[in-house]
Structures are given as C-alpha cells and as structure tokens.
Chains A and B, each alone.
Chain A
Amino acid sequence: MQPKTHDTKHHDAHAPDHHELGFWQKYVFSTDHKVIGVQYGVTALIFMFFGFLLMMAMRWQIAYPGQPMPLVGGLLESILGDVASGGVMSSDLYNAFGAMHGTVMVFLAIVPLAFGAFGNLIIPLQIGAPDMAFPRLNMVSYQSYVVGGVIMMVSFFIPGGAAQAGWTSYSPLATLIPTDGQTYWLIGMIFLITSSLLGSVNVLATIIQLRAPGMNWMRLPFFVWAQFVTAFLLLLAFPPLEAAGVMQLMDKVFHTSFFLPTGLAVGGEFADISGGGSPLLWQHLFWFLGHPEVYVLILPALGIVCEILANNTRKPIWGYKSLVYSALLIGFLSFIVWAHHMYLTGMGSKISTFFQTTTMIISIPSVIILTCYFITLWGGSIRFNTPMLFALAFLPMFGIGGLTGLPLGFNFSDLHLHDSYYVIAHFHYVVAPGTIFALFAGIYYWFPKMTGRMMSEGLGKIHFWLSLLFMNLIFQPMFMQGMAGMSRRMADGGANYSQAVVGEGATLTDTIMHLNTTISWAAWGLALAQIPFIWNFFWSIRSGKKIESDNPWNATTLEWQTPTPPPHGNFVGPIEVHRGPYEYSVPGRSTDFTPQNEK
C-alpha cells in the first residue's frame, strides 16, 4: 500500500454526528487526545524554559557571587522586592530558585512533556485507537496539571517567596522554614499528583483496552511499551508521596509532628511541638516516588529514541523482545532501589547492601536497552536528519549519565560523592542531554504529523550541534567539581567554603572554582542555542516545507497511516494490524518499509 494523502473534509462528510465546535470547546476544554497532547506539550515547554531561566539566574550568583545581576537584576528587584535588593540574588532567593528549578523541571516540564504530551499524542495513534479510553478524565488531568502549575508560580509572589527546601523538601527543614512557600508547594504537588494519577489510569486503560484488532502485545511499538511501564510507575509510586505530602501539609498547617522528632530544638530552644515523628519517614516516602520518577523521566525518552532509530536506520530494532522485558524489569526493580539515595542516613549495613545490590541489578536492563540500540545501528543505511541526530546523541549522553551513576549506587563511594556537584552532573546527564534530547528528537520527528509541515533541517542542525556542545561544557566540569568535594546547594558556588578550608589540604583549588564561570557561560550559551529551535518551531507551523504524503519519514507504525493532521477519531476507516512494529527493509517488498496495517 502506497502512502496517500487522505482528504479530511471528505471524512467529515461521512461523519454525521460531527459538528463544528466553538473555540473554547475545540482548544481549551477539548477532550480530543491530540489537542490535550498539544496543550500539555506547549505548557510543558513554557515551564521548561521558565525552569531554565531560574537556573540561568542562579548560575550568575554561582559564577559572580554577590554581584548585581546584569539585565534582569533590576527586574527581579522590582518584582520580588527585598530578596533581590540591588539586583543581587540573596541566599533565600537562591534557595527558592534552586528548589523551584528542580520542581518545575521534573514535575511541570519533563514528565508532562514526555508522558502527558507524547503519551497523549502518540499512544492512541500508534495502537489504532480513536481516542484515549476516558477523554473527559484526560481533560481533567490536564486542567489539574495547570492548576498545580499556577499554584507553584503564585508561590513566588507571596510574602517570603517560594519553597526553599529543595525539590526533595526534606523535613524538618521544609516544615520549619516559617514562610508559606512550602505550603503552596505541597498543595501544588497534590494537584500535580492527581493529574499524573488520572493520566496514568487513562494511559493504562487505553493501552490495555483500545488496541486495534490484531495489535497484540508483541506488536506494540516499543514507545507504547515504554509509556505503559511509565504509567504503572506513576500509578503506584506517586500515592506514597501524596500521603507524605498530606502529612507534611498537616505538619505545616495543623502543627502535627509526623516528621518532627521529639526534642527538636530550633535556634537553641525546644520547638513547641508534640514530637514523636520521624524525619527519615519523609525521605523514605519521598524516594519511594523519587526513584521510580527517574525511570518515569527516562523510559518515554527510550521509547522515542527507539522509534526514531528504527525509522532512520531502515532496520528492524534489534532485540525487540529483550527491550520489552528489560523495560518491564526496570519498572519492577525501580520500586526496590530507592534507599540508595539515603546511604548517609545511617541505615544498617545489611539493608544498605540490599539496596546496593538491587541498584546494580537495575543497571543491567538499562544496559541491555542501550546495547540493543547500538546493535540496531550496525549495518543500517542511516539517515542523518535532525531527529536522528538528537536520538544518536542521546545514546552516549544517557550512557555517561548511567555509568556515572554506578559510583553513586555503591554505598562506599557514595559517602564521598553524596550531595556534591558530581550528583548534579550525573542526573543531569541522564535528564538534560539524555531525556531532553530525546524529547527534542520526538518534537522534530512528530511535528509533521501534527502540522503537516516539516521543521527546518538547517536550523535543526544548528540547534543540535550547539546544544550538544554546550550541554557537555556545562555538565562535564561538574564531575570534576564534585569529585574535588564541592557541595551542591551553596548559594555562593562554594566561594566561602573554598576559603574556609584553605591550608588544610581539602581546599577547592582555583581551577575548580574557575570552572564555575566556565559552566555559567556555557549555560548562557545553551540558552542562545535554543533560539534556532524556538524560531524553527513557530515559523514552521505556518511556513515549513509542506509534506507530500501522510508518511514523510516512510515509517511503519500506525500514527503515519492517518490523515494529516489526524481528524477527531483519528482513523478514516476500521484499522487492522497484521505485523510487528518495525518491519523495515523486508526482503521481497517493493518499499523498504511495511506498515503494520498492511496485509
């Protein structure tokens, strides 16, 4: 079957129940999975940009501590007041920005983009469903996400500013900071968690119930499998954090002592609390979500990369089944590794060994997946278009992120590296040049499906090469800083600390300190590198090169077998699946790709 362009209008004429919806129903209160997907995507991209802005401001303070910020210093002072007096970032503001950078990036940007946006847009199309299983729930899920985001944003402007206890919000610190930022954070989180729960129920029900005839489990594209496991992680890992959030909210608002121990002293005096709580309980419940969350961040990225690799190597993915089982194993194991974030809490050596062992085991399926991807490249006739470049760069970047995690997984080496810049570099390698690159790849790859136009290849390549360069310039030096002993969360980038220990042999050398400046300039360079992308994104919606068929990449999966953009209800006629997801270059075929619905 040759790809052909379907006529959308023609389809509408055949759907008698279809009527024109008003603006609000069509774009704001829509129940169409594609519109909701785009809503998620655009909102999440805005939040991602915002989270990046917070970090850029912090990088100024790290590189040039105590100096007024150029360009935005005055602006921050006029908006936020005393915390930025004279355009200088105060420690309080630094803490707030740091906490909110993490929160925004994880809960408001990457998860919604990877799971909310790509999940919503692509899953129903790839499994041959007309929509998600519960369209109205889907809408509520998005709205709940927006409400959560708005609450988080509002918290910047309340007296005392946003939450300051880091994105991990460890108690008692989070409870004892007298301002209300943490309360807003907790209420915002409850909305975000609700959103994720509804989203994950929807995704799971959709994948289980709405697969087209013939789309059995082993014919699902790996992207769908990745989202399936992700949804399970969200479904079962988020509620304990919700419970913990409720308890911290009780601590904060009703002065209970869930996480406050007996005899807690603040400022030299006993706090007026009933006591009897356990600070470690918060850490356990937080990391019970926190670690699966890492896989929530990475699995959709692995899924996206898989689709793009298969498509652009023109080869079947190598080891499809081992990919699927690896993803399932990752999902399963990710629930029993969480305390490797807590080696320093003084847990016993037996339990510490247990978590160390599970942590080492979970790296095996991740390596299997990466290996399958590398082997897929072998002997392929690779097309180096922009999505493929991002997907290819993802492999070594994620590799670096993963391998540098091993020393953190061993409790003895973690004792030295814990809470240092090494940790920051490690997880950013996984998430920033890892997941975010995969998300960029996904945007470049599926853009034509949603708009009918290609994004510019030239601008895309500029965006790619500059991003790759600056990402590594930012995070590579952080490994050195971390190993040299620089702690994270220091508002002056370690300036005071390095002076305090001079002469005792443990000093942070000038070289290490100078890296702060290098990193900061690289971060601002990374911001410039995003300009081609932003321009490309908006310009291409109206003026990009029009695609000639519904299947511009000559792909096999079902989302390319619909009209462009897919109409309400997605498929023109009943669709039936006859083969696996990656039948590229099948011998004896006239084309080098065989769509799943072709007999």
Chain B
Amino acid sequence: MEIPYTAKIRPDTGLYNAKLGIWLFLASEIMLFGALFSSYILLRVGAEPGTWPQGLLNVPLGTFNTLVLICSSVTVVLGWAALKMNQFNKYRIYQGITILCALIFMVVKSFEYHDKFVHYFVRLNDGTEMNGHIEGNPMFMTLAKLKQQNKAEFVFHPDAPKADHKEEGNAGVAHATMTIQTADVRKLESWGPWHNTFLAIYFTLTALHALHVIGGALVIFMIWGPLAGMWKTDPERYTNRVEVSGLFWHFVDLVWIFLFPVLYLL
C-alpha cells in the first residue's frame, strides 16, 4: 500500500501532502500566537494608565537575537535552494549554520531569562520599594526562603536610576549598596512571570516561542543528520521534508519579528 502524493504533486491542488499539512498546522499556530497577542493587547489596553512597564528588557540582546533568527531563516531557504540545485554538501553547511543559530538564540535567551531571575523587587515595611540585585545573585529568592535559611539580613544593590524609564527606576532612593534586615522586608520577589502582567506575558510568549525554536531545530537536525540517507534513496521526498521543516522555521522567525518590537521596544 502506498499513500499517494507523499512526494509527487497532486495536479488539481498543486500540492504534496506534507506541504498542505504544514500550512494547516501553521494556520492553527497563527491562531495560537494570535490569541496570545490579543491577550497582550487586551491586558495592556486594560491596564491602569501609566502602569504598563516599559524598557525592562535588554534591547541589544534582543536585537542580536533577531538578527540571529533572520540569519537562520536565510540559511534555511538557501539550504533548500542548494538541494534543488543538487548541491548536497552546500545544503549541509547552510543547515548546519541554521542549527548553530538556533543554539545561539537559545543561549542568549537563557542569559536574558537568568537576568530576570536574579533581579529583585523589594518592598519594606515602611513602604519603600526598590529594584536591584541581591549579593551573590541567587535565583528565585523569596521572603519565605530567606526565613527558612535563617538569614537575618542580606546585601542589596539597588538599580541605578534610568532617565528615560521612570516607571521602574528608584527615584528618591539611595543607590548605594545597602544591607537590609529580613525582618524589615514585607515582600521580596524576583522578576519572574509573577512580578507583573508584562513579565507574565513576556515569559509566556517567549517560552512558547522558545519551545517552537527547540522543536523546529530538532526536526531540522534530524533531517540534516540521522535521516539524511533519504537523499540517496528518495531525493524528491527529502527535498520536500527540508522545505516543510523550513516553512515551520520561517514561521518561528515570523513570530519573533512581531515579538521583538512588541515586547522589547514598545
């Protein structure tokens, strides 16, 4: 038994099965990310005026990652073109760069995440609010954990004030390193998704996107490495696979093209 149109194109639709399949899948992905974008807009519009935080993210790193993803998108399409021109080795190099780009993206992303997890918001009993770092840069520290570890005090490095982003600056607070008594602290939390709605949607969107990057890179890697034998047995179908995985990869890039300005710049 052979399923028709796995490699050949069906004349009346002009498509082979997998290509139609991936576009259908991408349609559902548009709805998935679309719903999250809608939620973002809704929550932002609904936020109390002036409270939506801006400038929390590292723009140079974000820009760098954007360029990395664009670069990987180009190598994907060049790799596919190389296969079309029967240049298997060239394809190997291009897709190798793609996988490398995916790795770089993830590494940069994890640094960005880490930056947030060691960044803290503190509210003292007297109502003082500060953002900054705890000496030793622990991740996910909370008041409960401090008490559990019997730490009576900790060293805190408040952020320097930013002229253009007043919202999260530390206006009116000394910016020198200080020692805070645990007993004086009312609330201590890292800048994880729980800190505010912006970080919540930032982490949700980027984590979901990162899952797509990982998934896409794995598939591209499988086709590039372990499954490459198909190039000899069924080159047409192999090229199709590269094209289909490429379509998915471009979509991942596309999502990022919108995520970057929406989360980092606006």
Contact = CB atoms under 8 A, between A and B. Distances in A.
Which 4 pairs between the two chains have the least Cβ-Cβ distance? A569-B1, A240-B35, A256-B200, A239-B32
A257 interface: yes
A216 to B, nearest CB: 8
A285 B39 contact: yes
A198 to B, nearest CB: 8
What does DSSP make chain B's interface, helix, strand, loop or mixed?
Answer: helix
A547 interface: no
Contact of B197 (A135, A209, A258): A258
Contacts of B47: 276
A495 interface: no
A270 B68 CA distance: 44
Contacts, number: 136
Interface in A275-314: 275-278, 281, 285, 288
B164 interface: no
B35 A131 contact: no
Given A209-B10, A239-B29, A246-B208, A257 B197 contact: yes
B8 to A, nearest CB: 11
B163 interface: no
Contacts of A205: 17, 20-21, 24
A288 B47 CA distance: 23
5 contacts: A131-B1, A235-B24, A257-B200, A285-B35, A569-B1
Interface string B1-30: 111110000100101111011001101110
A250 B17 contact: no
A568 B192 contact: no
B31 interface: yes
Contact of B1 (A210, A236, A568): A568
B31 A256 contact: no
A256 B43 CA distance: 13
B32 A242 contact: yes
B111 interface: no
B46 interface: yes
A15 B1 contact: yes
B36 interface: yes
Interface string A229-258: 000000111111011101100100011111
Contacts of B266: none
Interface in A524-565: none
Contact of A201 (B1, B25, B33): B25
B124 to A, nearest CB: 17
Interface of B: 1-5, 10, 13, 15-18, 20-21, 24-25, 27-29, 31-36, 39, 42-43, 46-48, 51, 192-197, 200-201, 203-204, 208
- Interface residues on chain A, size class: 35 or more
A258 B13 contact: no
A281 B43 contact: yes
A476 B26 CA distance: 44
Nearest to B198: A276
Nearest to B187: A272
A74 B192 CA distance: 46
A85 B28 CA distance: 46
B194 A255 contact: yes
A133 B3 contact: yes
A288 B36 CA distance: 13
Given A134-B21, A201-B24, A209-B20, A254 B193 contact: yes
B3 A130 contact: yes
A256 B35 contact: no
A392 interface: no
B204 A130 contact: no
B103 to A, nearest CB: 25
Nearest to A276: B197
Interface in A369-425: none
A281 B42 contact: yes
A250 B203 CA distance: 10
A569 to B, nearest CB: 3
A243 B32 contact: yes
A240 B37 CA distance: 10
Contact of A209 (B17, B33, B204): B17
Nearest to A231: B24
Given A242-B35, A246-B36, A278-B43, 7 more contacts: A130-B2, A131-B3, A208-B20, A209-B10, A209-B15, A244-B35, A256-B197
